[in-house]
Amino acid sequence: MRSRLLTLLFLMTACKGTESAAPISGGGGSVHLMGHVIVVVEENNDYSSVIGSSSMPYLNGLAQQYALATKYYAVTHPSIGNYFMMTVGKIITNNDSYSTVVSDDNIIRHLIAAGKTWKSYAEDLPSVGYTGPDVGNYARKHNVIALLSDVVNDSSQRKNLVPFTQFATDLAAGNLPAYSFVAPNLCNDAHDCALGTADQWLQTNIDPLVNNAAFQRDGLLVIVFDEAGSGDATDGGGHVACVIVSPKAKRAYQGVGVYQHQSLLRLTGEALGLTTLPNAAATAPDMGEFFQTTGTP
């Protein structure tokens, strides 16, 4: 227990004082090819509120066991521009009520062109293929894939917008797509509820993925916060936690590079073997430092 507490304290203080961030720059290395990439996005909490927090023992356990990006910054406030950067490579808008269909280049377009499967698993999505506005605890601003023209204007692609309940079914059946974007609802992503609620949701719903045999062969899971609290606008959106989980990740590794969401977009594409990437992802610093160079972890 004492050793665990010391580790948590170390993580909590890692990179403290870096709030005047250097220009984004990678830490070297190359990204492994993966069979499955899963991105889970949490909401509106500073790095220092998350890493080392007793409210998030599960997420901190993953950070200790796998890899942690200690210098990772959101690009803007409020939420929606960060989600667009993760998927389109541009902020597009800072209006959380934005509802215009986006025809810009995006990760879905590149996945389709490469013959890769994908799904957006959004908790409390009213129905398969739903592209409408907020309903209950479902927030479209956290599921901007539902605004992309490649999805909205294609009836077959719209079917890949599914409620999160489908995630466990697909995992158990070995049917996870190559690319999964996971958006918990407004409570379970820590937007409206406590960090402890979000952490329990992760343990309940994401731990089965981490322990899945197929994932432990060639999977990549990234759990990232979209933006810091409103008091931190460092590099646009503030210092946030980004945890990288994979059998090919370095173990107990703390990153040295400085990154933003465009690097995450690059990582998701490169890990699936995409040779072209949308917008800012094409030139963003590579996150290869988080992966083993040879052999197994």
Q: What is the pLDDT of residue 29?
A: 77
pLDDT at 97 over 60: yes
Which tens digits make up the pLDDT trace of 184-193? 999 999 999 9
Closest CA to 225 of 37, 77, 91, 22: 77
Please determine, for residue 1, whether its predicted confidence score (pLDDT) is greater than 80.
no
Q: What would the pLDDT profile of 213-266 be if each residue is shown by its tens digit?
A: 999 999 999 999 999 998 999 999 999 999 999 999 999 999 999 999 999 999
Structure pTM? 0.91
- The residue assigned the tokens 């958006």 is 183
Q: Is the pLDDT of residue 24 over 70?
A: no
Phi, psi angles (nearest 5°) of residue 279? 50, -125
Any residues with CB less than 8 A from the CB of 112 and at least 6 apart, and which?
A: 118, 150, 157
Q: Which residues of 79-111 are buried (b: 16+ CB within 10 A; e: fewer)?
A: bbbbbbbbbbbbbbbeeeebeeebeebbbbbbb
Edge-to-edge strands, sheet with 67-68: 161-163, 118-122, 179-183, 36-42, 219-225, 242-245, 67-68, 253-254
Is residue 10 very low, low, confident or very high in pLDDT (cuts 50, 70, 90)? very low
Give me the mean pLDDT over the 106-128 stretch.
Answer: 98
Domains delineated in the chain:
2-11+35-290 (3.40.720.10)
Residue 12 is predicted with a pLDDT of 42
Beta-sheet pairing, 67-68 with 242-245: antiparallel
